[in-house]
Amino acid sequence: MRPSVGAVLHHDPHGRYPEALTVEDFRNKLAAVRARIDAACRRAGRDPADVRLLPVSKTKPEASVRMAYAAGCRMLGENKVQEAHRKWEATQDLGGLRWSIIGHLQTNKARMVARFADEFQALDSLRVAEALERRLQVEGRSLDVFVQVNTSGEASKYGLAPEDVPGFVRALPAFSALRVRGLMTLALFSSEAERVRQCFILLRTLRDRLRQSAPTGIGLDELSMGMSDDFEIAIEEGATVVRVGQALFGARPLPDSHYWPANPETEEPRS
Ligand SMILES: *Cc1c(COP(=O)(O)O)cnc(C)c1O
């Protein structure tokens, strides 16, 4: 059943998400999250094969990365480029492990992303697109990208305002190394499920509208939305990628304000 209007989401990760300590443990958590994905798909009349689970390993040590790999994960999400790069370097012995950068990027780190990442989900400016394009051309690589949209209107969230997305997308065919896959968002952090749902509906509606007028070569099939606490709602509203950290790896030591700074303009995490 859909959560009814006014249903409450619990943002209490510390009580609910114990640390995964063994591969067996991680496998069980993976199975539990997949079961939640399947149930949400059933409610929405969707095929679970159309929803990709992206495990998010940020703040977790290399040992956790290895645990996820042993449990079968072949792509991991990281919010910060340097942390991702460090883990990528440390796990060169693991064949076929790919990395998705899901956090805001500063242009001076584009080079790092171009070198090792396979996916970038937080594209939100032409400056970053240009920097990535230049570096990818040098590396002879290409990158799957998602355009990040701020669907909550919160100043603390990165991403383009919804009304700026159509113009932005029209400019993207100029960047031949960027393979545009779709849109990404972070919903409002709220305990009110219906307000969270509105963010996901906004992203889907925007995607549907853009698809009708998208430039050739610009794929807008994907909707990356939903995290540990809200991915079921996101799936009900059409998510094709869910980014799940704590429900798999355990609660994080750092508060989320570290990732969603009080003032994004400074590009510095709030301490
Ligand atoms: C950390 C993070 C997630 C995962 O959040 P959880 O609450 O750990 O599931 C998803 N998306 C982004 C952009 C993140 O930084």
Domains plus CATH for the chain? Answer: 23-249 (3.20.20.10)
* Among the ranges given (105-119, 224-238, 249-263), the one the predictor scored with the smallest mean pLDDT: 249-263
Q: What spacing in Å lies between the alpha carbon of 243 and ligand 1's midpoint?
A: 6
Cα–Cα distance between 25 and 71 in angstroms, integer? 9
Give the angle 103-233-4 at the CA atoms, nearest 5°.
145
Question: Which tokens in the block code for residue 239?
Answer: 């998510």
Q: What is the predicted pLDDT for the residue at 261?
A: 60
Q: Is the pLDDT of residue 174 over 70?
A: yes
pLDDT digits (tens, 9 = 90+) for 20-42: 889 999 999 999 999 999 999 99
Q: What is the predicted pLDDT for the residue at 11?
A: 52
* Among the ranges given (35-44, 159-168, 187-196, 224-233), the one the predictor scored with the smallest mean pLDDT: 187-196
Confidence label for 260 from pLDDT (cuts 50, 70 and 90): low
Q: What spacing in Å lies between the alpha carbon of 216 and ligand 1's midpoint?
A: 31
* Among the ranges given (108-117, 209-218, 220-229), the one the predictor scored with the smallest mean pLDDT: 209-218
Substitution site in 102, 146, 196, 203 for ligand 1 pocket (most atoms within 8 Å of beta carbon) = 102
Q: What is the predicted pLDDT for the residue at 254?
A: 65
Measured from the CB, is residue 100 less than 6 Å from ligand 1?
no
- Atom 6 (ligand 1) nearest CA: 245
Q: Is the pLDDT of residue 266 over 50?
A: no
Confidence label for 207 from pLDDT (cuts 50, 70 and 90): very high
| Average confidence (pLDDT) over 187-202 | 94
- Atom 15 (ligand 1) nearest CA: 79
Measured from the CB, is residue 182 less than 6 Å from ligand 1?
no
- Atom 1 (ligand 1) nearest CA: 245
Number of the ligand 1 atom closest to the C-alpha atom of 231:
9
Measured from the CB, is residue 79 less than 6 Å from ligand 1?
yes
Q: SS3 letters for 78-135?
A: ECCHHHHHHHHHHCCCCCCCEEEECCCCCHHHHHHHHHHCCEEEEECCHHHHHHHHHH
pLDDT digits (tens, 9 = 90+) for 53-96: 999 999 999 999 999 999 999 999 999 999 999 999 999 999 99
Q: What is the predicted pLDDT for the residue at 15?
A: 59
Q: What is the predicted pLDDT for the residue at 110?
A: 98
Q: What percent of the chain has pLDDT over 90?
A: 79
Q: Mapping DSSP to helix (H, G, I), strand (E, B) and coil, where does residue 240 land? A: coil
Number of the ligand 1 atom closest to the C-alpha atom of 184:
13
Q: Is the pTM of this model over 0.85?
A: yes
Q: Does 158 or 11 have the greater pLDDT score?
A: 158
Q: Is the pLDDT of residue 268 over 50?
A: no
Q: What spacing in Å lies between the alpha carbon of 174 and ligand 1's midpoint?
A: 30
| Average confidence (pLDDT) over 103-116 | 97
Confidence label for 270 from pLDDT (cuts 50, 70 and 90): very low
Is-contact 165 205, C-beta < 8 A?
no
Nearest to 188 by CA among 225, 243, 238: 225
Q: Is the pLDDT of residue 2 over 90?
A: no
Q: What spacing in Å lies between the alpha carbon of 30 and ligand 1's midpoint?
A: 16
Is-contact 181 146, C-beta < 8 A?
yes
| Average confidence (pLDDT) over 121-150 | 98
Substitution site in 29, 57, 58 for ligand 1 pocket (most atoms within 8 Å of beta carbon) = 58
Query: Nearest 5°: phi and psi at 62?
Result: -55, -35
Q: What spacing in Å lies between the alpha carbon of 239 and ligand 1's midpoint?
A: 15
